[in-house]
Structure 1
Amino acid sequence: MSASAPTAVICGIGGYVPPRVVTNRDLEAVLDTSDTWIRTRTGIAARHMIDPGTATSDLAVEAGARALVSADGAPADAVVLATTTPDRPCPATSPEIAARLNLGPVPAFDVSAVCSGFLYGLATAAGLIAAGAASRVLLIAADAFTTLIDPADRSTAVIFADGAGAVVLRAGDPAEPGAVGRVVLGSDGALGDLIQVPDGGSRRRFPGPGAAPCDPYFRMRGRETYRHAVHRMTEASRAAVAAADWELDDVDRLAAHQANGRILATVGEELNIPEGRRLANIERVGNTGAASIPLLLAQSAAEGTLAAGHRLLMTAFGGGLAWGAATAVWPDVKAG
């Protein structure tokens, strides 16, 4: 290792989706929609959803345990959870996850950046390692996103799903396979109302008995979101590739947040990355929020479409508005 600050290196990967599968045909029975409509507009055929009694922490523990096994079973000395659906408003969900994984009294905290949460968590974990505050960080991104969705809202109910993905990051050298490049991040709070859950926070609390109705569901202005998502993901991707001293032609695999099939296609085309180099699982898992990228990495590594030596570009966009991108040369790890 060089004398400079240590670099975060990916050394373990794991993913988990709940067992219940909801197909487009299932949704046809409860929504004014069709399999053809959903596939054409989103690229999704099925998604996984939690059952009553299951929470975000349950998904996160499964993914985290698999990532730790993938990283030779060595424990982590810090836990970072990226989520928009914590088990409770207070306390954070990550300390419970650390306890259930028998990691002892390690520092553990949550990061909230909606669908960009994994990349924000990646920057946070890398910062802990660079500062010497941790030498091995378990970063989990997990969302029970269907708990925020209005089941009668066709525009969102067909897209979102539940899942978790995790990576283990250790202190290492920037020249190593798995070393995380500069994480490019951005936000624009002036457009925060494009993607939001309007009520339930301190600004607009859930009302008491006899009060006016509130809106506790996730709302998204799809057309405007599409335009900003494509622009910001491509912009951040170019910056991350430049920071790695790569060209876009050098990218072997693009792992973009699995938001919508049309967005994925447009981002790939804007970056001139051929379809064969774009990782995708949206057809079978839908949009899993913060979990999207690490779940995609875990499944792709298990299937062999992401292999050691691949130059990987990751990018995401979500509520905030918030976005980001990062690079890494994929290491020789087996998905847990």
Structure 2
Amino acid sequence: MRFQNVCLEAIAYTLPDEIVTSAGIEARLEPVYSRLRLPEGRLELMTGIRERRFWAPGTRPGDVSLETASRLLDESQVDRELIGALVHGSVCRDQLEPATACRVHTGLGLPEQCLVYDVSNACLGLLNGMLQVATLIELGHLQAGLVVGTENARPLVENTIRTLNENTSLSRQEIKLSVASLTIGSGSAAALLVDRRLSRKGNRLHAAMYGAHSAAHELCQGGEAIATDGEPNASAEPSAAAGAAVAEQAVAPLMQTDSERLLAEGVAAAKPTFQAFLAESAWTRDDIARTCCHQVGSAHRKLLLETLGLEAARDFTTYETLGNTGSVALPITLAQAVEQNFVRAGDRTALLGIGSGINVLMLGVEWAG
């Protein structure tokens, strides 16, 4: 997909105040670490993640998304009456229905003639929303659209810690399925896309390419897993109610991930998609000045960049201090790369997204400043 008329006008993000270190999580896992004689420091050693952040208990994703989106619109100075689409793209939502986007839409005071909906696609939800909005702008149906989301890691991590400590039958091999759950962090991000004639920044969306390797969809599965009748309850996302119910009900891990196979299959899926991205964009590897990838951890980054033939020196990361923040990870990473002048005017920047499923989505942006 090639674009001529779409600009990524602005990106904003919000981070929680509470910092949770990998060492702190391991300290809470002392019962299972002692039972299985696991060495301290293995979580950070395996993932490269020193810390992540949590929202306060009871935080609603929609409330934080509203805060992030409102600040973005204020800073961009784009007339809210021009926003023709609002997409909420995070895994975490306020409820199954109505769409969390409805809460954000009314809170922002956006026009009634506006597409308002949620998109859920694991760690690619915000990028999917950006592509949808960009396509509508390119076709002339919209002047501007907003994509926002908020991920809340606390319920998943808390329930995972509790389960690992309480289930004394788990072996070393079995707890590997829960390691990815301990890397998750919280955050919020929003992106504003506009018709180039409205843009003050001129950060032009140049190209997009996508791919699917759905045969590997079972390698990472998540949802509420409160066992009330012997069967897991696979609803939308971890909730505060799920955490409160733990004391009275048996709980299975809320997310199970075959991390080693997911890493291999995800990178394998990215390779042909990246080749197609290069062909569609008419960029070479040398043309790509900067990359921002989905933030999983150090092993994922190393293998991905090596497989795609990209230089680590051109890549910006946030996983070390934010962990894996799901669908908001890549937008936050781009925003921080811009803040820290890692991405500068004239940089052709590749946004390389991979999400469980397995789906791949890559966007190319010509950054103007």
Q: Secondary structure at the match of 1:304?
A: coil
Kept in 2: contact 1:18–1:59 (CA 8 A)? no
How far did 1:12 drift? 0.9
Q: CA separation of 1:145/1:187 partners in 2, compared to 1, >3 Å: closer, same or farther?
A: farther
Residues 1:158 and 2:182 are matched in the alignment: yes
Query: What is aligned with 2:347?
Result: 310
Q: Deviations over 1:88-113 (max 9, x none)?
A: 01111011111112223232111111
Q: 1:216 to 1:15 in 2, by over 3 A?
A: same
Match among 53, 60, 70 for residue 58 of structure 2: 53
Q: Which is greater in Rg?
A: 2
How far does residue 292 in structure 1 lie from its aligned partner after superposition?
0.6
Q: Which structure's residues are more often helix, by fraction?
A: 2
1:183 is aligned, of 208, 214, 230, to: 208
CA RMSD of aligned residues (A): 2.7
Check the 8 A contact 2:160/2:254 in 1, yes or no. no
Greater CA drift, 213-222 or 229-238: 213-222
Using the size of structure 2 for normalisation, the TM-score is: 0.80
- Taking a change above 3 Å as real, the CA distance of residues 127 and 204 of structure 1, as seen in their structure-2 partners, is farther
Q: How far 1:198 moved relative to its partner?
A: 5.8
Superposition pairs of residues 251-330 of structure 1, within 5 angstroms:
251-330=288-367
Q: Which amino acid aligns with 2:344?
A: A
Amino acid in the other structure paired with 2:125: G
- Contact 2:213 2:269 (8 Å CA) reproduced: no
Which residue identity does 1:266 align to in structure 2?
A: L
Structure 1 residues 273 and 69: CA distance shift in structure 2, 3 A? farther
Say which SS state the counterpart of residue 99 (structure 2) adopts: coil
Q: Is the 8 A contact 1:146 1:162 kept in 2?
A: yes
Distance in 1 (alpha carbons) for counterparts of 2:153 and 2:347: 30
The 1:283–1:214 alpha-carbon spacing in structure 2 relative to 1, beyond 3 Å, is closer
Aligned residue for 2:273, secondary structure, equals helix
Name the SS for the 1:290 alignment partner: helix
Task: Pick from 56, 68, 81 the counterpart of residue 63 of structure 1.
Answer: 68
- The answer to whether 1:119 aligns with 2:143 is no
CA contact (8 A) 1:250 1:311 kept: yes
1:35 is displaced (CA, Å) by 6.5
Paired-residue identity, %: 23
The 1:206/1:282 distance shift into structure 2, 3 A limit, reads closer
| Partner in structure 1 of residue 192 of structure 2 | 168
* Change in CA separation of 1:20 and 1:213 when aligned onto 2, cut-off 3 Å: closer
Q: Structure 1 counterpart of 2:214, which letter?
A: G
Q: Partner of 1:85 in structure 2? A: 92
Structure 2 counterpart of 1:144: 152
Unaligned residue ranges in structure 2 (runs of 5+): 165-177, 226-230, 236-248
Distance across 1 between alignment mates of 2:293 and 2:24 = 27
Once residues 250 and 25 of structure 2 are traced to their aligned partners in structure 1, the CA distance between those partners, rounded to angstroms, is 27
Q: Flag as ranges the 4+ runs of structure 1 deviating above 6 A.
A: none
Q: Pick the aligned partner of 2:77 from 72, 83, 87.
A: 72
Contact 1:255 1:278 in 2 (8 A): yes
Q: Which amino acid aligns with 2:219?
A: L
1:131 aligns with 2:131: no
**Alignment pair present for 1:193 and 2:218:** yes
Q: Is the 8 A contact 2:196 2:202 kept in 1?
A: no
One-letter code of the match for 2:207? R
Moved more, 270-279 or 233-242: 233-242
Q: In structure 1, list runs of 5 or more residues that go unmatched.
A: none
**AA aligned opposite 1:126:** A
1:15 to partner: Cα distance: 0.9
What is the aligned length?
Answer: 323
